[in-house]
Structure 1
């Protein structure tokens, strides 16, 4: 199905292309690593979102889904930073919650590559996760819905933010392919031909795998 695209500003695109075109072999290896890490994070994000919602639909329990929802946004946030030329890979190691939010704001939101809504949704998801982790009980929280009623809403809400994230990631990937040709490994190739099958076999049930693969295929994230 047709998907919305993001047009990178010239002020971002010019240094991005310069980074992609460098004749330094180590820089070329860096971009291969960037897209490999991005693919891993995207897969993690999709797995957390889809298994969280699948668990809720199967059991009706709202204990674990908010935790999975938060980490789905967390991993997708890191995935975006993986392909941001201005974010050193060293800054992505042992990522902390507050640091991720700060990097998303300074590297992407302030340069109009991502709307502030993503970070706000991430912060809200962290609040919901911490309510489950630390103060579980019958209290109301700031979310306008009770937790059980909120699960389908959150699943949809995160899906919208995923699309915003993927627009940026795919825009960078298009520049990568345009610079190096289709011989370079793509995100779909990495997930479909490399990391996906092992992850599915190790962690997912057949039903969970079906949900995850359906999302990946729908969004051109696997081969």
Structure 2
């Protein structure tokens, strides 16, 4: 049974596009809530649980990063996906650190956005390839000598167990805890325990943050 989705800061043609995409994902018009500002979005959150929030980073009363932080603070399990135009590196990293569980670009076609949002609803962490490329470039500058890159990656490498690393690979592919449990023939509670340990060792709070921290440390190739 589908719940409700919150769309923040999307107007005109983009709102119409998202409405059509979400209809394909079995969300009726009545299941979609719209907010134009941070305050409207937070007020809607007080009215009941949501399946997911889709946030534009450009809002009239503040930064989308501030909104992401507030939404995650009020509902730690709420998936918050940025659907926006490309921002600066600082804005992209800031959104992910604030707790965004995905970052998609409005310029992608409806099919690409549909697949990505379906993955997000299943617990995945959809990152647009263009955004991922910029993040990786920021983590490992092209001008840095190879030796320096390796030293930086290995100097403070977290001590993840073989099982935790294996689970992290599944997370990187967008697998949910249930899917990981089925693939490894383990219980979901066991997977959740491993995920908590991964978060603790990487000092992160979300799956997206765990992926990028692991890449920065060289845990994920």
TM-score scaled by structure 1?
Answer: 0.25
Question: Which is strand-richer, 1 or 2?
Answer: 2
> TM-score scaled by structure 2?
0.25
